[in-house]
Structures are given as structure tokens and as C-alpha cells.
Amino acid sequence: MSPSGGGGAPQAARLLLLAVAASLAYAPLLGIPLIADDYSHIAMAQRYGSWSGLPALFHDAIFRVRATSYWTMYFLWGAFHLTPWAYHAASLALHIANTWLVYFVARSWPRLRPAALGAALLFAVHEGHQEAVMWFCAISELWMFFFGAAALCCWLQSAARKPGWLWRLAGVILFALALLSKESAVVFLPLFLLVAPSLDRRWLLRLVPYAALGAVAVATIAAGRAYSFRFSDGSFSLHAPFWITWPRSFARLLWIWGWAAAIPLLLWRDRRLQRAALYALAWIGIALVPYSFLTYSTQIPSRQTYLASAGLAFLFGLALAQVSGRWAARPGMIAALVAVMLAHNLVYLWTKKRAQFQERAAPTEQLLALARRTAGPIWVRCFPWPGMVADDAVRLALGRDPSTLIWSAAEAAQRPPAAVFCYRATR
């Protein structure tokens, strides 16, 4: 296997290899139940996801920037109702497509072309961004990456492929869809500059339509600031301690394989690859910026490192290309290195992470199980998620009115419950 992705097996075989790797890593997610906020977002999709819901969707600035997620949820609800594997399969399919895009971005970016296959292989199985793939509610991260990275590929190909205007138009449309997937998609604008072959007038002019779309998106979000819960719930602030969150999250993202990749890149002084490594690190730094202003944590959640982890993948791919060049006569050692990387990520996902997501789904699953065998009202005394989650789960999964659930002792005294629910973790 050539880590550069050039020569050797046909490109279709490399893409199949990447799809198999991603599926192998994340196949256990197919058996995970829906989790907490999944129910509430699927409920909102019934309002915003249909054709008749478009006026409401585009009137609400904060929900408009998650439009592709609500359209996906609405489609899946109509086709599969609440079948968990269908929702998780949609996330996995998007992750496979994004893995291919990591490969194509690296192949189209001259500085990182040697890293293409190795980078995409790490991205396919990386456990660090697992929440974006394993928690369906985080599908907005996957859609933002898909449309943004596809737009970036078109940006790079527009100079080499004919007709160039068609590639540029496709890129602008894809970037618009990225902005309809998540508000942080504007961070792709500096990434466009990062991957540009040069910053001459021609390339800067090509960026103008993208910048104009980004400015419109930011302006519409700012216009809705007064009534948007994203600004009023205190979870985001320009006064947040980003000087702690950003470097801490950067260093944590590099663990383990980013720090390991630094060893050959530093020891074997290939200036060309070292410069390319700086671009990979810059990608990580830029991609983490929008999430460095969170107020509820000084550690960026794993789902929000999905875009940044592409930079980690590029760094690993460059190191693998360096090692492969030095150890060309010892392919067994290269295969062993790749095997260790795969084993680390796969085992961690299959064991610890799968168990964690099962535990996150348990409160809602236990409540629904009780509701299925209880005809009357249920007094919910202990529930770790907001009451809205339980209400939406009961309504969507069982078709029962949320008034089935009692949330206070006073109400229980007036309306005697048929059962009492109190969730206590088993671990």
C-alpha cells in the first residue's frame, strides 16, 4: 500500500479500502439506541423539515443554519420512523463520504499529496471525533464537513479542470449548503486561503463569492441575536477563556497519533514535509477557533473536533509517507505501524466509547420500556436529561401525549401515578 495514494492499486480500490476501514471502526454504532437530544431534534424536524415548514425554518436564523440536519431527520422519520440503525447508518454513510473527501483534498493540495491515503485512513477510524459519528444529533458536523470539504475540492480543481467556471459554480453552491448545515461553516473561508496554491489576485478574486456568502450568513445570525437561545443560554461568549480552551483542545487532539507523527517529521529533516506539516497544524488551529468560545467547558467536545481532526489526519499521513520512504525496504515495519494505529482506534471505539454511548441512551430507553408496559401516568422522579427529552421520546416512540408523564410531587398528589420512574446508572 502506498501511503501517498499514488500508483499501486486503482483509485477505486483505495476508496473501497477507506470505506471498509470506516465501516469496521463505526459499525458498532448501528446497534446504539437514539440518545437524549435525538428525540427533541427529530421532533423539531417535523416542524422545520417539510416543504410546508420552509417558511418557519428560514425565518428562524438559528435553526436555518441546521437546515440540512432537519431535512435529513424529516426524511428518515418518514422512511424509518424511529428505527435507530437507519439514523446511525446515515451518519456512517456521511462519515465514509467525508473520509473520501479527506483523501481528495489531500490529493488536490500539492503540499499534502504524499499524505493522501495515510491521512484518510486515520480519519476513517479516528476515535477522537467519535461523537460526530456515533451521536446522530451531531450530524450537523458531518454535513458541514461534507459540503465545506466538497466546496474546497472544487476550489482546488477549478484551476486544473475544464470548464473552470462550472467547478467554481459548484463550489459556491456547495459552500452555501455548508452554511445551511452549521453556523461555524464560515471557518472554511480561512481554510480556502490555506489551501490556495498562491495568494495572488486571481485566487483572491475567486474567493469573493464565498466571502460574500459567509458575510450574509454571519449578518443573519447576528440579526437574530436578540431572540436566539444560542446567545441567551450562556453557552457561547466572546468573553469565554479561549486562551485556555484553544491550546488545551489543540494539544488533546494531537494525542496520540499527532504527537507520534511529530517524531519522524522532526528527526528526519525533510524541509518540504516539515513545511507541509505546518500547514496541517494550521488547519487544526483554524478549525478549532469557532469552538474556543464555549462557556460550559474549557475542553472542546469531540463532535466539534471533526473538522480539525482532518488536520491531524494530514499530519499523520505526512509522517507515514516519511517513514515509508525511509523504510521502503522494510514493508513489514510499515504494515505493523499501520496495524497498531488501527488496533488502537478500533478497540477503543468498540469497547469504551460504545459502552459510553449505550449508557447515555439508557435513561430514555428505560423510561420508554416502563411506559410501554404502563397504561396510566408515570411520575418521573429522577431523569438526567431535560424533561422535554422525555416528553418528545414518549410522543414520538409511543404516540402518547406527553401529559402521560408527571414531573412534580404536587401533580402526583392530584393525579395518582400508575408507576414511578427513577433512573439510576448501573455503572
The answer on pLDDT for 162 being more than 80 is no
> What residues make up the domain containing 300?
11-358
pLDDT band (50, 70, 90) for residue 164: confident
The answer on pLDDT for 75 being more than 90 is yes
Note whether residue 6 is domain-resident: no
**Least confidently predicted of 261-270, 284-293, 354-363:** 261-270
> Looking at residues 211-221, what average pLDDT do you find?
90
Same domain, 234 and 141: yes
> Looking at residues 367-385, what average pLDDT do you find?
94
Overall number of domains in the chain = 2
Burial 237-272 (b: 16+ CB within 10 A, else e): eeebebeebbebbbeebbeebbebbeebbeeeebee
Note whether residue 1 is domain-resident: no
Same domain, 336 and 270: yes
Same domain, 147 and 198: yes
The answer on pLDDT for 227 being more than 80 is no
Same domain, 17 and 107: yes
Note whether residue 349 is domain-resident: yes
pLDDT band (50, 70, 90) for residue 256: very high
Q: In the prediction, which pLDDT does 36 show?
A: 85
Same domain, 75 and 194: yes
Residue for cell digits 404516540? 399
162 against 183, higher pLDDT: 183
The answer on pLDDT for 200 being more than 70 is yes
Same domain, 394 and 319: no
Same domain, 141 and 91: yes
Note whether residue 4 is domain-resident: no
What are the DSSP E strand ranges found in 143-294?
none
Q: Domain boundary at 334, 358, 382, which?
A: 358
CA distances from 250 to 191, 254, 312, 313 (A): 17, 7, 10, 14
| pLDDT per residue as tens digits for the range 327-374 | 877 888 889 999 999 999 999 999 999 999 999 999 999 999 999 999
Same domain, 317 and 373: no
Q: In the prediction, which pLDDT does 198 show?
A: 83
pTM, two decimals, is 0.93
Question: CA 61, CA 218: separation in Å to the nearest integer?
Answer: 10
Q: Domain boundary at 319, 334, 358, which?
A: 358
Name beta bridge partners: 294: 236
Q: In the prediction, which pLDDT does 35 show?
A: 92
pLDDT band (50, 70, 90) for residue 1: very low
Q: To the nearest whole percent, how much of the chain has pLDDT over 70?
A: 94
The answer on pLDDT for 242 being more than 80 is yes
Q: Domain boundary at 358, 393, 412, which?
A: 358
Same domain, 248 and 281: yes
The answer on pLDDT for 264 being more than 80 is yes
Yes or no: say if 4 and 113 are a contact pair by the CB < 8 Å rule.
Answer: yes
Q: 3-class SS at 377?
A: coil
Q: In the prediction, which pLDDT does 158 show?
A: 82
Note whether residue 427 is domain-resident: no
Question: CA 224, CA 59: separation in Å to the nearest integer?
Answer: 10
Same domain, 143 and 165: yes
The answer on pLDDT for 3 being more than 60 is no
> Looking at residues 71-90, what average pLDDT do you find?
96
Yes or no: say if 160 and 191 are a contact pair by the CB < 8 Å rule.
Answer: no
Same domain, 106 and 195: yes
How many CB atoms are closer than 10 A to CB 225?
12
Burial 54-75 (b: 16+ CB within 10 A, else e): eeebeebbbbbbbbbbbbbbbe
345 against 27, higher pLDDT: 345
